[in-house]
Amino acid sequence: MSDHSTSTIHTTVAIIGAGFGGLGAAIELKRRGEHDLVILERATEVGGTWRDNTYPGCRCDVQSNLYSFSFAPNPSWSNTYPSQPELLDYLRGVTRDHHLGHHLRFGFEVASVEFDEELGRWRLRAVDGREVIAANVILATGGLAEPRLPDLEGLDGFEGTIVHSATWDDDLDLAGVRAAVIGTGASAIQIVPAIADDVGHLTVFQRTPPWVLPHPGKKVSSRAKRLYALAPPFQRLARWADYWLREWLVVPFVKAPKIMAGAEKKALEHLHGQVEDPALREALTPDYRLGCKRILMSDEYYPALQLDTVDLETRSIECVTPTGIRLDDGTEIDLDVLICATGFKVTDNPTATKVHGRGGVPLAAAYQGQLPCYRGTSFPGFPNLYMITGPNTALGHSSMVFMIESQLSYIAEAIAFSTANDNDLIEPRREVAAAEEDAIQAKLPGTVWGTGCASWYLTDEGRNVTIWPDFTFRYRQRTRHLIPEHHVVTSTS
Ligand code: N01
């Protein structure tokens, strides 16, 4: 990597984002001998989603041993399901252990990523004017990175404090305040029990009840930690047990959603075991297939909703007023703090609107069914550009870290191919990408995600552009190697 001027960096690989995807990409490239790389990060430290989501109670719903890099096991996980602070520490440790510090450029908020046809290179600009010219780009900005505020009239005029789950203010003092949580997804069901005892009063606004299963997490014993440290194969064994126990879930998710009835029974038993009031039970009973939205796990959510200081509100919100929320029936709820646990811009991720390939085509077209994606990673017309957790790579049943590591083999081989050939431009053939995408889309209607609920997996038109509807080992097989005949190569000379 070389600085040709004070503000332009020329590099072989520019990686955008320093979460699991970006850090993993840098490590894999370095392992294969590619050291001319820079990691551009908008924040001031690594961690991605596990740096941003500092809301109380934040925790991963995939096992620690599986939700970590295969090459960097951590024998010290305190719980079988990791908390946000522990995951952030883990990623800081990985950064240190793999000497990524000098590759990192913090505060680089990407304004545009444009393919310069004359140069045959990517030109990246930051909002502060810094520029990077790169032969290859890896977008590792993550699918769940851009918070979505609710589309509610009057939100801007609220005179109290508004906070989103993914931009939590660690100095926010909730003691004694009148607070509300909008949303009942994965973030909300962790926030509600974590703050319920601190606030003066809490109203939880539920639009759709989630399916909630008992939480299987437990403390990792000091004996297990010692064993993992002294004999790493045992931890690898535990990881693969977690992996295969989850992998069979593809059957109910993808092949036969009716099988979800068994898990629904378990979730209803959980609800009935924790909630006695029939009216509250009814309000909390979902009317769609379990798995259509992300399956949630909590032992604390239902008890928290029954505290004297907590109300579940199922009436529709008409608008936000300067002092609180007005419901459709005219009821006014006075509030000091409004917590929006309303999810992320996924299918309309603003990052994709900043990236333009050949002919100025925006990457956002990939989420509108107008640009096929090859193996969730690369796009025709976007040579030498790769997207970590791109379209149709998200999972309902297993670890995204497994998917990320799978993508890295293909990406690293493609980059090595290009650099070995004088930085030739490599991109997937449009017809190959389109055929693969058609095959994925043909599968999705029969899956649990096609059973009729609204979710962040779908575009406004109902197209599922997020989920990988198959076994993850099949995805790994497909991304294990670069298949040259699936690609077009053009010379830059
Ligand atoms: O967001 P969501 P999230 N008025 O989109 C509601 C990962 N994650 O941040 O269901 C009223 O799931 C919306 O209602 P409805 C995980 O992949 C993982 O919770 O659309 N309500 C819904 O209840 C997860 O799936 C972990 O009717 C409104 C909620 O807001 C993903 O992140 C932890 C509304 C949004 O739920 C996103 O989870 C946290 C409105 N105007 C996150 N707009 C773990 O690992 C939206 N809602 C445990």
Query: What integer pLDDT is reported at residue 435 of this predicted model?
Result: 98
Mean pLDDT of 121-138: 97
The residue whose CB lies within 8 Å of the most ligand 1 atoms, and thus the one to mutate among 342, 398, 466, is 342
Indicate if 155-216+256-340 has the same CATH topology as 9-46+100-146+345-490: yes
Strands 332-334, 324-327: pairing is antiparallel
* pLDDT surpassing 60 at residue 3: no
For the stretch 40-84, pLDDT in tens is 999 999 999 999 999 999 999 999 999 999 999 999 999 999 999
The residue whose CB lies within 8 Å of the most ligand 1 atoms, and thus the one to mutate among 144, 328, 401, is 144
Q: What distance in angstroms lies between residue 367's CA and the mean position of ligand 1's atoms?
A: 20
For the stretch 148-166, pLDDT in tens is 999 999 999 999 999 999 9
Whole-prediction pTM: 0.96
- Asked if residue 449 lies in contact with residue 431, where contact means CB atoms within 8 angstroms, the answer is no
For the stretch 277-328, pLDDT in tens is 999 999 999 999 999 999 999 999 999 999 999 999 999 999 999 999 999 9
Mean pLDDT of 76-104: 98
Q: What distance in angstroms lies between residue 182's CA and the mean position of ligand 1's atoms?
A: 9
Q: Given pLDDT bands bounded at 50, 70 and 90, which one contains residue 444?
A: very high
Q: Give the residue, by CA position, lying nearest to ligand 1 atom 35.
A: 342
> How far apart (Å, rounded) are the C-alpha atoms in residues 395 and 398?
6
User: Angle, to 10 degrees, between the axis of helix 472-479 and the axis of helix 400-420?
Assistant: 10
Can you give the residue ranges of every domain in the chain? 9-46+100-146+345-490, 155-216+256-340
For the stretch 244-256, pLDDT in tens is 999 999 999 999 9
* pLDDT surpassing 80 at residue 2: no
What is the architecture of the domain spanning 155-216+256-340?
Answer: 3-Layer(bba) Sandwich (3.50)
The residue whose CB lies within 8 Å of the most ligand 1 atoms, and thus the one to mutate among 53, 67, 164, 207, is 207
Task: Find the residues whose C-beta lies inside 6 A of ligand 1.
Answer: 59-61, 144, 150-152, 165, 182-188, 205, 207-208, 294, 317, 341-344, 454, 456
Query: What integer pLDDT is reported at residue 52 of this predicted model?
Result: 97
Mean pLDDT of 168-184: 97
Query: What integer pLDDT is reported at residue 4 of this predicted model?
Result: 42
Q: Given pLDDT bands bounded at 50, 70 and 90, which one contains residue 6?
A: low
Q: Give the residue, by CA position, lying nearest to ligand 1 atom 5.
A: 343
**What's the CATH fold of domain 9-46+100-146+345-490?**
FAD/NAD(P)-binding domain (3.50.50)
* pLDDT surpassing 90 at residue 235: yes
What per-residue string of b and e applies to 343-377 under the rule 16 or more CB within 10 Å gives b? Answer: bbbbbebebbebbbbeeebbbbbbbbeebbbbbbb
